[in-house]
């Protein structure tokens, strides 16, 4: 898979199996994930009416999958351009480059798994939208 590293984009992985057996999907370094994975986290039980995210990252790259349920992303890049992604199948993913403001909605049964290029550093977050907008023009 070819990744454009400065542009958010959908990731489509293979799903191996059949209904009577079940399925396996694999995300492999280099072929599917364009960075060294330093951290993996997952989120779950987010109520339907809750919107999460509301932040951008200065350096972090992420590949995100909904291993269960449905997850909707609204992204705004450093130029203020919006994009919308729906993860509604375990083999569909999303690559998020640095400097993308995100808001995320979940179905209650959704499990989001994130493969991340860096360990957790709170200083990498921009949690204020005005700061994000101003940060891009520096």
Catalytic residues: 55
Q: Which is nearer to ligand TYD, 29 or 120 (CB)?
A: 120
Report the nearest approach of ligand TYD to the CB of residue 131 (Å): 15
- The count of C-alpha atoms lying within 13 angstroms of the C-alpha of 121, restricted to the half-sphere facing its C-beta, is 12
Answer for which of 55, 58, 70, 136 binds ligand TYD (CB under 6 A) is 55
Answer for which of 1, 44, 53, 83 binds ligand TYD (CB under 6 A) is 53
120 binds ligand TYD (CB under 6 A): yes
DSSP string spanning 28-90?
-BTTTB-S---EEEEEE---TT-EEEEEEESS--EEEEEEES-EEEEEE-TTS-EEEEEE-ST
For 120, phi and psi rounded to 5 degrees? -70, 125
**Per-residue contact string for residues 4-43; x = within reach of ligand TYD by CB under 6 A:** -----------------------------------x-x--
129 binds ligand TYD (CB under 6 A): no
DSSP-derived letter for residue 20 is: T
Contact present, 104 and 98 (Cβ < 8 Å): no
Please report, as ranges, the residues that interact with ligand TYD according to CB under 6 A: 39, 41, 52-55, 120
């Amino acid at each position: 898979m070819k990744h454009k590293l400065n542009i958010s984009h959908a990731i489509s992985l293979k799903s191996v199996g059949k209904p009577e057996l079940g399925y396996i999907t694999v995300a492999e370094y280099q072929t599917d994930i364009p960075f060294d994975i330093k951290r993996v986290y997952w989120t779950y039980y987010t109520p339907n009416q809750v919107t999460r995210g509301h932040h951008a990252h200065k350096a972090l790259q992420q590949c995100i999958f909904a291993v269960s349920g449905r997850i909707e992303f609204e992204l705004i890049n450093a130029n203020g351009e919006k994009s919308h992604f729906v993860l509604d199948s375990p083999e569909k993913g999303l690559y998020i480059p640095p400097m993308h403001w995100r808001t995320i909605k979940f179905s209650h049964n959704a499990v989001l798994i994130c493969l991340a290029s860096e360990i957790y550093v709170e200083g990498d977050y921009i949690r204020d939208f005005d700061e994000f907008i101003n940060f891009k023009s520096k």
